Amino acid sequence: MRIGFIGTGVMGSGIIANLLKHDYDLVVYNRTKEHAKDVLNLGAKWADSPAQVARASDVVMTMVGFPQDVVDVYCGQNGVMKAVKPNQLLIDLTTSKPSLAQNLAAKATQRGAFMLDAPVSGGDIGAQKGTLTVMVGGDRDQLNQHLALFHAFGQTVRYFGPAGSGQHAKMANQIMIAGTMTGMCECLAYAKAAHLKLDEVLATVNNGAAANWSLANYGPRILKDDYTPGFFVKHFVKDLRIALDEAAKMHLQLPATDQAKRLYEQLMQQGDSDDGTQALIKLWWK
């Protein structure tokens, strides 16, 4: 089975590396070929456009940054939909809008193909280790037929319902992360102000009822002043905006998530868009 993969950023490159380890044949495309150098060196082959990826592949997977990037990749002049084949499976791993997932699934169906929205959680570490959590919406039979593919990079693969449901599940995930990230930063800010040893605070808190993934994975990076992106600030802001927009459509208020969005927007305004989400601590550690 040949897999076409579009998007060789931090997450995409980790997923591609794991697919190659599982002996999948991969052809890849990225807007900047230079950024695909690492996966090409691992054995992936290059295609010159998303359409060329679709022509050369049995399954097409995408992991890009923003909803507009998803639209461009699938519906652009040289997009996937220009070359999609009957019975071909398209899988979008990007965290994006549920409505866009539904729209693209309908376009795929019109062409006799299938599409799954399958956003992931687990950050750069999960992508590298092949331990991501995958939240899937779309045709359940297609998921079942391709479970081995998903388990090449995902430890947990969960089906949530028709097209768009995977994206809704990811929004719930991001709402939870918003709370753990702000909680972690305020925890560390308080501990520092109280002149506690921060490494001991991390070790203690993460062995009690307050233990969480953000604390375990991003807390140590903060103590090293390491703000390299496992997940970009700008992408998290995008996710929180989508979550709040979707909540508004359901007449649901999420004040804590709204505040987290405002804090991350403040971080962007001071020039930290391309830092990792752990850079939120900078609002306290100026």
The domain tally of the chain equals: 2
DSSP-H helix ranges across the chain: 10-21, 37-42, 50-56, 67-75, 98-110, 123-129, 140-145, 147-151, 165-193, 198-205, 213-223, 233-249, 255-269
CATH number of the domain at 104, please: 3.40.50.720
Say whether both 133 and 210 belong to one domain.
no
The two three-digit tokens of residue 136, written as one number: 């899937």
> How many CA atoms does the CB half-sphere of 209 hold within 13 Å?
0
Domain interval for residue 123? 2-162
Q: Which of 145, 162, 179 is the last residue of a domain?
A: 162
Say whether both 124 and 243 belong to one domain.
no
Say whether both 73 and 23 belong to one domain.
yes
Say whether both 149 and 174 belong to one domain.
no
Say whether both 153 and 176 belong to one domain.
no
Q: Which of 125, 143, 162 is the last residue of a domain?
A: 162
Torsion of CA 207, 211, 216, 222, to 10 degrees: -100
pLDDT tens readout for residues 134-187: 999 999 999 999 999 999 999 999 999 999 999 999 999 999 999 999 999 999
Say whether both 150 and 8 belong to one domain.
yes
Q: Which of 162, 180, 201 is the last residue of a domain?
A: 162
Q: Which pLDDT score, from 0 to 100, does residue 286 have?
A: 74
pLDDT tens readout for residues 192-250: 999 999 999 999 999 999 999 999 999 999 999 999 998 999 999 999 999 999 999 99
Q: What is the mean pLDDT of residues 31-54?
A: 97
Contact 280, 263 (CB under 8 A): yes
Least Cα distance to 168 among 61, 238, 237, 96 occurs for 96
Q: What is the pTM of this model?
A: 0.95
Q: Is 286 a catalytic residue?
A: no
Q: Which pLDDT score, from 0 to 100, does residue 47 have?
A: 98
Q: Which of 97, 170, 238, 261 is catalytic?
A: 170
